Structure 1
């Protein structure tokens, strides 16, 4: 049985000669990963060439099918155990830099990539290129890369790396009192320089921070209607409509400009690598030429992407803490964000212009705002209370179409942002969040009686939120769809 786990990340004090050794070991780890991935991929390709394998895959799901599939995996060596055995020789050869348990862990990471393809969660595997392998981890805190609390340092096959813990960091000191399951070395490139961190996987629940004011009421409901770029929140205490990852629009614009600069530079330096229609010529095997200006721009782009990712995660954590301060019974619609990212399959021609309609959907918005990440953060925080994020059945509840006064479903265009009632107009996303909050415990239908009881409170707070939004700038208002 797995125990609850949380992560604490702290910087390491690394000297120049130690950095060279760490880079060497990360490079060895990358080599092992690619070797294991290539071997596992080779075995998997042999397995799927067998016609009998596909006959078994098409069988009805059940014990017989699972047994036959396991027999195929054992026959062709497409199992985690087989890959661990394959990496043993490498572990013995490279034991001065990579321990046997760490080598096995790398092999298991490679096997996870194969599993994604095997179970339909991916189309192909991706090998790790030079300089793109950023972490190594052990299986326990007993061998290899491990922490010694009495000296507050990491020791790893001859390397001694002090852990930088501030005396006033109460959270870190309390966290390190918990049992350490294993440690992970993480490399980050910050402002063009390599920085190294240790991530402690700790058993239990994280210490409570002073500035967190999470609700203690497990029955206090919070309804969330999350979109590709906005979030509507409804509870008995507050009714709010926010833009996800607010304030990133300026950074995103600069990021797009750098992307165009990099593309122009690539095309200017490598004209033979492109066809006449502008697409990449895959038959050309010449080496890509990268100018010094291109390398500087690429480094600038990487730094900007890192900053945007950090800001986005920080914003999501703050928003998750705010939501949990309203209540611990958090309900949300089930959304397929991966499907929203994909381009439309159907080719259509516009009646007005006579041109082909764009197939793009919400890929850029989902990538920039990361709504799925916010839900994962909320779910993880709820796990610390022994609770889970409740996902309602979207097809049954139909929160965007249902009206609780008439108890009917009315289809509405995406461009229609308001619902009209006798009391007044209600913003569509906030009303959906209100219905989600008032779903029954089976999460398959709206509790109309409860919705009628909480309607007056919701409508009053809705009007307050609309007054707040009126004082925002035009750009902010348009960003939340109003």
Structure 2
């Protein structure tokens, strides 16, 4: 019988933790890490034995058309080699009881949840979603959770309770989001830690049952949205509104500070690990002779040699990590605003089936700075959660960036950002026009008649179409003009950087260098 599932949302609350409580928590996390790694190792052993067996090979040869027979055969093979979630639960219990200190630190419910977590990691390798698993080191094991809110890690009387540990939360009573989460039913609790400004901070994540708190400005309407996702922006066209929104707009990159820290770390590494580097050598640059630093010796990385890291190196690494964390946090906040803005105009989405992973090899830094994959996944998740639909279609079959209103296809260079239609209609931004056409894609085919009927301008088609009162043409033109205005404002602000009146803080007041650089990559790669 399938498990019943209900809607969930997460409420995160910071915790007050003193030094004694933190010492106990770290001991319990160390015990939990040992359980997880042991379960993961056992799962991979059983998986390898199962894969090499004759029964598995026979099951793998069964045609995928015979779904029921194939799944039943695979299930019997898994039972034969005891490769299942519940078998790992039993293994976790035996392992914890064998090491008495683990059983004293981690309760049975949390042990089973760690076994489930390890099984899912190995299962990703089995189905081909991952190449290998990663065993956790102390710095990478950051969360543990219970199975329910009855025993183990639980939320009781507005406190996190785990055995004899009682951790007080920091609750803002004026925050409606926190109040809504505390008043909702708690399914289970997740305990985690993060490093902020070089210090460990503890948090409780309450996995609540029901719907999350809906802010008044973040409403969702029942409308159709055509999307065109890009590297640094997203274009959308709704029933009565269109826009071209940039990702992570005006997010500081701290590039200068990070570069200085990286150089400091590199100097420290070379000074404390001189045996791992080739000797410096002289090279000519034009008429000058310069000294180039030697590279890391061959075989050092494969041998996994232990590097000496000084206290100055560790301090610089912590500062760099904090700057990167802040940059990522700012980008997430801005990108969530982009998602909420789009959903205000419709929850039924049509978009191209693009792979952001495919962009990473070519536009690695731009993808890291802009996070289009986060916007894509967050938008689809929120739309489906609000009862909307998401339809993805092939980029090769539709080729929206090349298509004109009369059906003609003319390939454009990535640098060409303006769409000039062969029918003689007004010029539009390339991404906006592709988003407009995506509204009329059905089963990987563009229905041009519907697009022509909805577009205002019958004269562009030789007067064959009757006059319409559709507002899509002025909507597209208005969105294009807003994009031009935004670019002009950004450029005008960048010229005021040297003004003494603007130097009121250490934070940059202009668009970051990564943002400006990515504008050149603002291309449709379909």
TM-score by length of 2: 0.80
Q: Say which SS state the counterpart of residue 138 (structure 2) adopts.
A: coil
> Compared with structure 1, are the counterparts of its residues 197 and 463 closer, same or farther at alpha carbon in structure 2 (3 Å cutoff)?
closer
Aligned to 2:87: 82
1:154–1:162 contact (8 Å) kept in structure 2: yes
1:243–1:480 contact (8 Å) kept in structure 2: no
CA distance in 1, matches of 2:304, 2:253: 38
Matched, 1:417 2:420: no
2:224–2:346 contact (8 Å) kept in structure 1: yes
Matched, 1:242 2:245: yes
Match of 1:178 among 184, 187, 208: 184
Kindly provide the CA deviation profile for residues 263-292 of structure 1, in whole angstroms up to 9, marking residues without a partner as x.
454354334446786455245354221111
> Compared with structure 1, are the counterparts of its residues 146 and 462 closer, same or farther at alpha carbon in structure 2 (3 Å cutoff)?
closer
Mean Cα displacement is larger for which, 330-339 or 289-298?
330-339
Aligned to 1:101: 109
Q: Say which SS state the counterpart of residue 184 (structure 1) adopts.
A: strand
Aligned to 2:150: 142
> Compared with structure 1, are the counterparts of its residues 451 and 310 closer, same or farther at alpha carbon in structure 2 (3 Å cutoff)?
farther
Q: Say which SS state the counterpart of residue 139 (structure 2) adopts.
A: coil
Q: Say which SS state the counterpart of residue 231 (structure 1) adopts.
A: strand
1:272–1:284 contact (8 Å) kept in structure 2: no
CA distance in 1, matches of 2:214, 2:106: 36
Aligned to 1:297: 316
1:137–1:185 contact (8 Å) kept in structure 2: yes
Q: Please show how residues 300-319 of structure 1 align to structure 2 within 5 Å.
A: 300-319=319-338
Give the CA RMSD over aligned residues: 2.5
Aligned to 1:357: none
Match of 2:488 among 461, 471, 477: 471
Aligned to 1:287: 306
1:332–1:392 contact (8 Å) kept in structure 2: yes
How far did residue 83 of structure 1 move?
A: 1.1
How far did residue 140 of structure 1 move?
A: 0.4
> Compared with structure 1, are the counterparts of its residues 339 and 263 closer, same or farther at alpha carbon in structure 2 (3 Å cutoff)?
farther
Aligned to 1:129: 137
Aligned residues: 457
Matched, 1:408 2:413: no
Match of 1:3 among 6, 17, 21: 6
How far did residue 152 of structure 1 move?
A: 1.5
CA distance in 2, matches of 1:457, 1:9: 43
Matched, 1:29 2:32: yes
Unpaired runs of 5+ in structure 1? 344-360
Matched, 1:329 2:330: no
Aligned to 1:480: 519
Aligned to 2:462: none
> Compared with structure 1, are the counterparts of its residues 280 and 431 closer, same or farther at alpha carbon in structure 2 (3 Å cutoff)?
farther
Higher Cα Rg, which structure: 2
2:228–2:431 contact (8 Å) kept in structure 1: yes
Match of 2:75 among 45, 70, 79: 70
> Compared with structure 1, are the counterparts of its residues 12 and 477 closer, same or farther at alpha carbon in structure 2 (3 Å cutoff)?
closer
Kindly provide the CA deviation profile for residues 301-359 of structure 1, in whole angstroms up to 9, marking residues without a partner as x.
22122212211221121111111112222322211122332x4xxxxxxxxxxxxxxxx
2:181–2:206 contact (8 Å) kept in structure 1: no
Q: Say which SS state the counterpart of residue 232 (structure 1) adopts.
A: strand
CA distance in 1, matches of 2:245, 2:55: 53
TM-score by length of 1: 0.87
How far did residue 416 of structure 1 move?
A: 2.6
1:316–1:377 contact (8 Å) kept in structure 2: no
Q: Say which SS state the counterpart of residue 326 (structure 1) adopts.
A: coil
Q: Say which SS state the counterpart of residue 468 (structure 1) adopts.
A: helix
How far did residue 144 of structure 1 move?
A: 1.1
Mean Cα displacement is larger for which, 194-203 or 245-254?
245-254
> Compared with structure 1, are the counterparts of its residues 96 and 37 closer, same or farther at alpha carbon in structure 2 (3 Å cutoff)?
same
How far did residue 38 of structure 1 move?
A: 1.3
2:441–2:447 contact (8 Å) kept in structure 1: yes
Q: Please show how residues 364-383 of structure 1 align to structure 2 within 5 Å.
A: 364-383=365-384
CA distance in 1, matches of 2:32, 2:204: 17
> Compared with structure 1, are the counterparts of its residues 53 and 449 closer, same or farther at alpha carbon in structure 2 (3 Å cutoff)?
same
Aligned to 1:430: 432
Match of 1:457 among 470, 474, 477: 474
1:401–1:409 contact (8 Å) kept in structure 2: yes
How far did residue 114 of structure 1 move?
A: 0.8
1:224–1:436 contact (8 Å) kept in structure 2: yes
Q: Say which SS state the counterpart of residue 408 (structure 1) adopts.
A: coil
CA distance in 1, matches of 2:170, 2:185: 19
CA distance in 2, matches of 1:71, 1:178: 41
Aligned to 2:126: 118
Q: Say which SS state the counterpart of residue 400 (structure 2) adopts.
A: coil
2:240–2:475 contact (8 Å) kept in structure 1: no
How far did residue 256 of structure 1 move?
A: 5.0
Aligned to 2:507: none
> Compared with structure 1, are the counterparts of its residues 394 and 22 closer, same or farther at alpha carbon in structure 2 (3 Å cutoff)?
same
How far did residue 101 of structure 1 move?
A: 0.9
CA distance in 1, matches of 2:256, 2:229: 24
> Compared with structure 1, are the counterparts of its residues 339 and 78 closer, same or farther at alpha carbon in structure 2 (3 Å cutoff)?
farther
